[in-house]
């Protein structure tokens, strides 16, 4: 478990903002309030603003070595990866001196052994995309993938998604 603070949430999120309209005004307060509403223990710790408890991050099974094994991922288990253009949480930049802390969404995509894999880079979005302006486009991609295991007829490849939800091939 790790503990989070409201200033920590804002600092981490601000580090990934590249445009003033990436998130709506007041979203930090809305998200923090939602955290506190669902946090019966940490919301009593404080002052001034209480704490949020977060699960520890464990990458078991979701790494370059295991992603390639037996072509299960991208084979019998189709994979859609949606990555925010400005995501510095899931993409370690700059690289850490501790190799265990380095992560690249593109390298993970490349490591997936099977052919039924799709990666979409959401332009103008960060790691907190479900709470940013691209959230509806993320939802639409997810619905297409869950219902038909495809996005706009595509079942494999790397794409970019603009802020209107239009996807196009990406190098």
Domain ranges of the chain: 2-54, 71-169
SS3 36: helix
- 116-166 confidence digits (pLDDT tens): 999 999 999 999 999 999 999 999 999 999 999 999 999 999 999 999 999
Strand partners, 121: 83, 160
- Give the separation between CA 31 and CA 9, rounded to whole angstroms: 9
- Spell 51-62 as b/e; 16+ CB within 10 A means b: bbeeeeeeeeee
Global pTM reads 0.81
Q: Note the pLDDT of residue 39.
A: 87
Give CA angle at 28 (25, 30), nearest 5°.
90
Distances (CA, A) of 76 to 64, 70, 71, 113: 18, 10, 8, 11
Q: Note the pLDDT of residue 58.
A: 60
Distances (CA, A) of 135 to 32, 82, 157: 17, 11, 22
pLDDT at 93 > cutoff 80? no
């Amino acid at each position: 478990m790790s503990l989070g603070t409201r200033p920590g949430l804002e600092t981490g999120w601000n580090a990934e903002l590249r445009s003033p309209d990436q998130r709506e005004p007041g979203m930090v307060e809305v998200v923090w309030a939602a955290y506190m509403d669902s946090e019966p223990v940490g919301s009593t710790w404080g002052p001034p603003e209480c704490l949020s408890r977060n699960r520890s991050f464990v990458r078991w099974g979701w790494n370059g070595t295991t992603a390639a094994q037996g072509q299960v991922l991208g084979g019998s288990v189709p994979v859609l990866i949606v990555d925010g253009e400005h995501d510095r949480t899931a993409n370690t930049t700059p690289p850490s001196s501790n190799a265990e802390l380095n992560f690249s969404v593109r390298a993970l995509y490349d490591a997936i052994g099977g052919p039924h894999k799709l990666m979409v880079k959401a332009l103008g979005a960060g790691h907190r995309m479900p709470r940013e302006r691209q959230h509806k486009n993320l939802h639409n991609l997810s619905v297409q993938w869950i219902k038909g295991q495809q996005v706009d007829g595509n079942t494999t490849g790397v794409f970019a998604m603009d802020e209107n939800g239009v996807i196009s091939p990406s190098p």
